[in-house]
Amino acid sequence: MINHPFLCLVPILLIIAQSAEGCYTSIFAFGDSLTDNGNLLALSAPRIIHQGRLPNGETYFHHPTGRCCDGRLIVDFLAQQFGLPIPPPYTEVSKEMTMDIRAGVNFAVAGARALDTDFYDKIGIIDPVTNDTLRVQLDWFKHMLPSICGPEKGKFAFLQAPSPTKSK
Ligand SMILES: *[C@@H]1O[C@H](CO)[C@@H](O)[C@H](O)[C@H]1NC(C)=O
């Protein structure tokens, strides 16, 4: 991941403030390896992904979680600082359809690019790591919006988001 030439997607944290006291109630995270807490690992063959092996994860979680880090990421520290649960990876949420997503979801995928895959296809660059670009992550988020803030809100149901596709 570290040598990947397109690791340029700056993590974007969308923090939704709701209460009048200025507290934060949710964190929705987008980005790449600086923010991914398990999505690429869930979408890939684990043996080829370094974040699926120690020492990644050893100092805090005591097992590899998919983070490109031996401890927590900035998004984890932010969540804990705000008194929120660490936002679960989207791949976990989309597998367990009953998870409570009101406190947020982490959509980041290590190696993700900001520009669409089409752009790279046209210039003949194939991404061997992931095609889950920023647009793809935002689409996942958009599909989840009814569960987050629509009439179904609070039922913890996650009905509409597409399953992420596993890469070979
Ligand atoms: C990304 O998409 C291209 C075609 O647009 C494909 O050749 C490549 O294998 C895909 N990469 C992954 C990781 O799925």
Q: How far is the CA of 100 from the centre of ligand 1 (A)?
A: 32
> Which protein residues are within 6 Å of ligand 1, measured from CB?
117, 121, 126-131, 167
Q: CA 54, 59, 64 angle in degrees (round to 5)?
A: 35
Give dist(CA 112, CA 141) in Å, integer: 15
Contact 13/51 with Cβ under 8 angstroms?
no
- Measure 85 CA to ligand 1 centroid, in angstroms: 33
- pLDDT for residue 10 is more than 70: no
Q: How much is the pLDDT for 17?
A: 43
pLDDT number for residue 4: 46
Instruction: Report CA(14)–ligand 1 centroid distance (Å).
Output: 27
Centroid of ligand 1 to alpha carbon of 126 (angstroms)? 6
Break the chain into its structural domains and give their ranges: 25-149
pLDDT tens-place string over residues 84-95: 999 999 999 988
Q: How many helices and strands in the chain, by DSSP H and E?
A: 5, 3
26 or 12: which carries more pLDDT confidence? 26
Distances 81 to 57, 74, 147 between C-alpha atoms, Å:
20, 10, 25
Q: Which of 14-23, 88-97, 148-157 is predicted most confidently?
A: 88-97
> How many angstroms is it from 125 CA to the middle of ligand 1?
9
The per-residue pLDDT for 153 is 59
Using CA positions, which residue lies closest to atom 14 of ligand 1? Answer: 167
One-letter amino acid at 35 equals T
Q: pLDDT tens digits, residue range 80-133?
A: 998 999 999 999 998 877 788 888 999 999 999 999 999 999 999 988 889 999
- Listed in sequence order, the residues at least 6 apart from 127 whose beta carbon sits closer than 8 Å to its beta carbon are 6, 111, 113, 117, 120
Atom of ligand 1 nearest to the CA of 130: 13
| pLDDT at res. 77 | 94
pTM metric for this prediction = 0.80
- Nearest ligand 1 atom, CA 117: 5
User: Which amino acid, 59?
Assistant: T
**Candidate of 117, 129, 130, 132 to mutate for ligand 1, largest count of ligand atoms within 8 Å of Cβ:** 117
Supply the pLDDT for residue 97.
72
Give the pLDDT of residue 76. Answer: 95
Residue 129: per-residue pLDDT: 87
